Amino acid sequence: MQGSGSVLRPASWGDAVLLRSQHPEASPICGGTDLMVDVNFGRARPGALLDLTAVAGIDSWELMDGGRTVRIGAGVCFARVIDELAGQCPALAQAARTVGSPQIRNRGTVAGNLATASPAGDSHPVLLACWGRVEAESVRGLRLIDIDDFFVGPKRSALEPDELIRAVRVPAATGPQQFAKVGPRNAMVIATTSFALNLDVAGRRAGTGIGSAGPTPLRARGAEQMLEEALADRWDGPRGVGESVAQEFGALVAEAASPIDDVRGSAAYRRHALAVLGRRCLSWALADLEAAGAA
Amino acid sequence: MTITDAPAATRPSSTVHDGVGSSAARPDGVPKVDGSFIYSSDEYHDGSLWGATLRSPHPRARILGIDTSQAAGLDGVRCVLTHRDVPGSKIFGMVVYDQPVLAFDEVRFQGEPVAVVAAIHPEIARRACELIVVDYEELVPNTDPEVSLTGKVEGLPSGGLVRHVRIRHGDAGAARALADVVVGGRFEMGTQDPAFLGPESGLAVPLGDGGVELYVSTQDLHRDQRQVADCLDLPLDKVRLVLSGVGGAFGGKEDLSVHIHACMLALRTGRPVRMVYSREESFFGHVHRHPAIADVELGATRDGRLTFTKVRLVLDGGAYVSTSQVVIANGCYFAAGAYNVANVEIDGFATYTNNPPCGAMRGFGAVQSCYAIESAMDRLAAALDMHPLELRARNAVGEGDILPTGQAVDGPAPVQEILAYLRDLPLPADVDRPAADMRVLPGGVGNVTRGEGIRRGVGYALGMKAIGFSGGKDDTCTARVTVWIRDGEPVAEVYCAGPEIGQGVVTLEAQVARTELGVRTVELRDKDTDIAESGASSASRQTWMTVGAIVGACQLVREEILARAAAVLGRSGGELTLDGPEIRDLDGRPLVPVAEVLGPEAVSYDFTYRHRPTEPVDPERGQGNAHVAFAYAAHRAVVDVDVELGLVRVVEMATAQDVGKAMNPAAVEGQIEGGTVQGLGLAVMEELQITGGRVRNPSFTDYLIPTMLDVPPMPMKIFEFPHPDSPYGLNGVGEPPNLSSTPAILNALRDATGLELPRAPVRPSDLIEAAPAPGAPAEDTAQSET
């Protein structure tokens, strides 16, 4: 194609990182489910493509830290997250179920989701709620980016131009997790807004994430603090943490959002829906916690 | 239901495999599934160039100048054309010529074509478009149809008013004064897109004699041919159109798209030219369903008899006429619904604005008016404290009733049977919510509820529409049937230009030839403009018209073969029947093989079919026998609504429809399911969002159409009351299920929530009862768009 460069197709991770530094104009592509949409709509005309699909070793996941962390390779598609990681990462698997169509879930990856860094990325609220970390690698070396530092603006991340995402590290669930997403269609829809909740029973902390209700994915810190205080010494059996806590939690989730009106919904609706999702997700998680404590 | 055929005395006696009434498989079914089917976007010719279109970014602007020099100089570009290069008429249109082939003076909608480019690669063609410099002086767009209908807007044709349709029947004013109960309301509908998956596309091939051949996706080859020839300044016989694979149409492929542009580029370069719109471009490249504002007032006696109906219907046609003046008429004809009401006053307005052009879409104006009247009927039922089905049954139109246009309802009008089916059908069971698979709950895979906030609703709607072209048009369809002998067996070829747009007319062509001639092998010739016209695949008319033409041609072929056999056998033709390979006597005994009668000769006849004549309505009171036939359908929608999140799961769409004769039952079910789902989309998600004349969601990311997880089970009853005037007693099928689907769902949502819901499609925020969430500052709603 005139004016376009080549397709670079490294076979090893080392080569991929090297090519990334040598060809800053090349767009990395793996699943292609975001990039090709931009190309087809004429919004992107990459000078070259850095095709990661032949890179050995990135299409697998492994347990680290004695099973406490799941390290998900950049090439692992959403369909495999659903099929293989629903035990360790239930909220991420639930988010993966809401991604596009079966064909998209067979191609798209969590790492690709992160690289696009859309405020509507379905993985993002879960990664916030779970305190995930992103492995970013360049010829300069490997660094771990805390998820709280990763999203810096609409479709902008902390990745440097010479960096590639090698893997995502997600702490394995130690308690109930939830992910819920609202859209005007019952499948294959970009989130009007979404919410993730992680009750880290082992760490005695609550994690949250909000999607599509701000310039970046957001954490509802006030809601987390309130919930941690409410649970205090009742993490192993949250009896008495009732509807009023869930209600207040939902309100705090809504308060943490900074949504706008756009073609997918109004700011007021997004805030309203987040309050409902926050309340419902917490009430389900508390019921799960109670059931686990009783068992 | 008993099915009576047209007289069949001379038809083949034995049972025909895959004949009329069977669910014969589509000839294009397997190729469409395995990917080998050639859609218009797949058309290819050695050495072909690619065309691309530069479109206006502004909804309204004056063109001060166009500089194509940079684009023309780009390596790989073969030509760049503007309005100055249009050889013939610089404007075209389906009914009246008013739309520029390429814009001059002023662009009137966002996406209006301004220039076209041919290049050796599609990407080069697109980049060349970006190098064309158009000097625009932006003007303030007129986007409010309520202002346009005054007819006093400067800068719009006719001051903004396309047409005002008046229908006056009885005395609505007097009846209003006497009515026991009067209800009213305003109902609005957003802009639906046909959202076909196969974009506008085609291949133009220049011919040595100065003519051109165009392989294209369309609903009407001959109407296209006339417009293309006029704009190319060529005689009709120098412009040959061939139907290519149509990937959906729904009315959106009646207006021209790539046609003239591809031909201009091919004739200028002397090379074949392919054009394929991208998905985004497609949203600007075809007409949409008219957005509507309808004010309805109904009056009734205490026992629920309608005494008057008043409707004011405004349909915004956007920048150019397309078929707006006909769509508004059709909307008005059926604005009082499928009801017998003595006093009717209807005023319909179609307007010009600088919004995107609107035109034909499945239902053709009757979708908007059915939605309005059926919404109002539920308000009346509530005011009377009467079951909505009972109110409909008490007022349903029947044979002999006089419509608002003064025409008597003739042909079967089994509305009571249709309503009774919906009344007697058991309701679906409640979902066991906490245990349910999330996919059957509102929000689907989004995992938003385990039963919280869910309320169920049930709603009904009834629709009625004319089948075929109304208002005095001499509508014809010509078919040619040829029979010859191959390997000792008669083979029939059917040739008819009626476009196959997914509805399955090609399946029926073969079914009818098999039934009429008893042949096993039927071949279908490509559809093109070398034969006389078939008319458009629109108005639910193509099956009726094509089957009529093929039956007529088969009859002539059969008579000729029997006459030849009679001569061979020394008997009279009336004593013989044609049954596939054999000529038989009336008792079924074989007399002589057809192969012997025909020898090496082929028998071929053309037949031109016409439906019964109609007449235009008068402009003052809208009275006249305007319609060929009527069709009826109704829906019962069951919905679950999450009233906290405003999300919907349609649980079931039950429907009943009279089709006269199910020519191919599987195809009929497909049409009814498809029409129902398209109506579901319009009820709960499908809207082209347009602000200030600009389309905000031209993509399938944000223009949402139903997925399998939005489509419920659809129990259906297909009635077959034979129509007296049609071949085999059939009636049109494609549009009626699209009418009542939307209002049935709206009525079910109203039943579930108790909300008025005056606008379709319903958005989640329309369905939530609660005030905005705590902590939501009021100024949020004033935040600007992104």
Q: Enumerate the residues of chain B whose CB falls inside 8 A of the CB of residue A252.
A: 775
What pLDDT score does A240 carry? 74
Asked if the model's pLDDT at residue B431 lies above 90, the reply is: no
A152 in the same domain as A86? yes
Please tell me the total count of domains within chain A: 3
Chain B interface includes A277 (CB < 8 A): yes
Q: Is residue A91 part of a domain?
A: yes
Asked if the model's pLDDT at residue B4 lies above 70, the reply is: no
Prediction ipTM score: 0.96
The structure tokens listed for B27 are 């000839």
Asked if the model's pLDDT at residue B12 lies above 60, the reply is: no
CB B729 within 8 A of CB B5: yes
What pLDDT score does B773 carry? 42
Q: Enumerate the residues of chain A whose CB falls inside 8 A of the CB of residue B439.
A: 186-187
**Among partner residues B452, B764, B773, which is closest to A251 by beta-carbon distance?**
B773
pLDDT tens for each residue of B706-728: 999 999 999 999 999 999 999 99
What pLDDT score does B784 carry? 32
pLDDT averaged over chain B? 95
Please state the pTM of the whole predicted model: 0.96
The structure tokens listed for B368 are 């908007």
Provide the shortest C-alpha distance from residue A138 to chain B (in Å).
Answer: 33
**DSSP secondary structure letter of residue B447:** -
pLDDT tens for each residue of B404-425: 999 999 999 999 999 999 999 9
Q: Is residue A2 part of a domain?
A: no
The structure tokens listed for B14 are 């034995």
What pLDDT score does B772 carry? 44
A144 in the same domain as A72? yes
- Answer yes or no: do B707 and A186 touch at CB < 8 A: yes
Asked if the model's pLDDT at residue B777 lies above 90, the reply is: no
What pLDDT score does A295 carry? 62
Q: Which residue of B has its CA nearest to A2?
A: B124
Q: Enumerate the residues of chain B whose CB falls inside 8 A of the CB of residue A185.
A: 444, 685, 704, 706-707, 709-710
**DSSP secondary structure letter of residue B157:** G
- Answer yes or no: do B278 and A41 touch at CB < 8 A: yes
CATH at A114: 3.30.465.10
A181 in the same domain as A286? yes
CB B331 within 8 A of CB B313: yes
Residue B537 amino acid letter: S
Calpha distance B532→B544 (Å, rounded): 17
Calpha distance B653→B740 (Å, rounded): 11
Q: Is residue A24 part of a domain?
A: yes
A188 in the same domain as A210? yes
- Answer yes or no: do A181 and B763 touch at CB < 8 A: no
A84 in the same domain as A145? yes
Which one of A117, A148, A171 terminates a domain?
A: A171
Asked if the model's pLDDT at residue B434 lies above 80, the reply is: no
Local confidence band at B16 (pLDDT 50, 70, 90 cut-offs): confident
Which one of A116, A261, A262, A272 makes the best mutation probe of the B interface by having the most chain B beta carbons within 10 Å? A272
The larger pLDDT score, comparing residue B81 to residue B430, is at B81
Q: Which residue of A has its CA nearest to B762?
A: A184
Q: Which of residues 216-275 of A touch B (CB under 8 A)?
A: 250-252, 254-255, 259-269, 271-275
The structure tokens listed for A236 are 């192993």
**Among partner residues B445, B697, B701, which is closest to A97 by beta-carbon distance?**
B445
What pLDDT score does B372 carry? 98
> How many CA atoms within 13 Å lie on the side-chain side of B491?
12
The larger pLDDT score, comparing residue B777 to residue B176, is at B176
CB B180 within 8 A of CB B207: no
Q: Is residue A216 part of a domain?
A: yes
- Which domain range does residue A107 map to? 61-171
Which one of A153, A171, A189 terminates a domain?
A: A171
A211 in the same domain as A151? no
CB B203 within 8 A of CB B273: yes
Which one of A120, A144, A171 terminates a domain?
A: A171
Local confidence band at B7 (pLDDT 50, 70, 90 cut-offs): very low
Local confidence band at A132 (pLDDT 50, 70, 90 cut-offs): very high
Provide the shortest C-alpha distance from residue B111 to chain A (in Å).
Answer: 15
A196 in the same domain as A138? no
Phi/psi of residue B59, nearest 5 degrees: -70, -25
Residue A128 amino acid letter: L
pLDDT > 90: what percent of chain B? Answer: 94
Chain B interface includes A213 (CB < 8 A): no
Q: Is residue A56 part of a domain?
A: no
Provide the shortest C-alpha distance from residue A146 to chain B (in Å).
Answer: 27
Q: Enumerate the residues of chain B whose CB falls inside 8 A of the CB of residue A262.
A: 785-786
What pLDDT score does B546 carry? 98
Asked if the model's pLDDT at residue B215 lies above 90, the reply is: yes
**Among partner residues B707, B775, B781, which is closest to A254 by beta-carbon distance?**
B775
**Among partner residues A40, A178, A185, which is closest to B710 by beta-carbon distance?**
A185
What pLDDT score does B14 carry? 52
CATH at A237: 3.30.390.50
In three state form, how does the secondary structure of chain A look? CCCCCCEECCCCHHHHHHHHHHCCCEEEECCCCCHHHHHHCCCCCCCEEEECCCCCCCCCEEEEHHHCEEEEECCCEHHHHHHHCCCCCHHHHHHHHCCCCHHHHHHCEHHHHHHHCCCCCCCHHHHHHCCCEEEEEECCEEEEEEHHHHEEECCEECCCCCCEEEEEEEECCCCCEEEEEECCCCCCCCCCEEEEEEEECCCCEEEEEEECCCCCCECCHHHHHHHHHHHCCCCCCCCCCCHHHHHHHHHHHHHHCCCCEECCECHHHHHHHHHHHHHHHHHHHHHHHHHHHHC
**Among partner residues A42, A251, A277, which is closest to B775 by beta-carbon distance?**
A251
Local confidence band at B580 (pLDDT 50, 70, 90 cut-offs): confident
Q: Is residue A125 part of a domain?
A: yes
Q: Which residue of A has its CA nearest to B439?
A: A186
Calpha distance B671→B503 (Å, rounded): 7
A163 in the same domain as A268? no
CB A210 within 8 A of CB A123: no
**DSSP secondary structure letter of residue B254:** S
- Residue B351: partners with Cβ closer than 8 Å, 6 or more residues away: B145, B148, B149, B160, B161, B162, B314, B315, B316, B317
- Answer yes or no: do B448 and A94 touch at CB < 8 A: no
Kindly state the average pLDDT of the residues B446-468: 97
Residue A83: CB atoms within 10 Å: 12
Q: Which helix (H) or strand (E) holds B748?
A: helix B736-753
Q: Which helix (H) or strand (E) holds B417?
A: helix B415-424
Kindly state the average pLDDT of the residues B303-328: 98
A262 in the same domain as A164? no
CB B597 within 8 A of CB B583: yes
Asked if the model's pLDDT at residue B15 lies above 90, the reply is: no
pLDDT tens for each residue of B468-482: 999 999 999 999 999
The DSSP line for B351-399 is E--SSPPB---TTTTHHHHHHHHHHHHHHHHHHHT--HHHHHHHHB--T
Taking Cα atoms as reference points, which of B300, B774, B27, B348 lies closest to residue A250?
B774
Kindly state the average pLDDT of the residues A250-267: 97
Local confidence band at A292 (pLDDT 50, 70, 90 cut-offs): confident
Chain B interface includes A89 (CB < 8 A): no
Q: Is residue A79 part of a domain?
A: yes
pLDDT tens for each residue of B299-314: 999 999 999 999 999 9
Q: Which helix (H) or strand (E) holds B513?
A: helix B505-517
Q: Which residue of A has its CA nearest to B786?
A: A262
Asked if the model's pLDDT at residue A4 lies above 90, the reply is: no
CA distances from B587 to B8, B196, B579, B590 (A): 15, 51, 12, 9
**Among partner residues B121, B447, B699, which is closest to A179 by beta-carbon distance?**
B447
Q: Is residue A47 part of a domain?
A: yes
Kindly state the average pLDDT of the residues A234-247: 84
Local confidence band at B355 (pLDDT 50, 70, 90 cut-offs): very high
A234 in the same domain as A143? no
Local confidence band at B781 (pLDDT 50, 70, 90 cut-offs): very low
Helix locations, B171-214, DSSP H: 172-178
What pLDDT score does B422 carry? 98
pLDDT tens for each residue of A113-123: 999 999 999 99
Local confidence band at A233 (pLDDT 50, 70, 90 cut-offs): confident
Calpha distance A92→A172 (Å, rounded): 10
Local confidence band at B11 (pLDDT 50, 70, 90 cut-offs): low
A104 in the same domain as A154? yes
Residue B665: CB atoms within 10 Å: 14
A166 in the same domain as A73? yes
Calpha distance B413→A170 (Å, rounded): 65
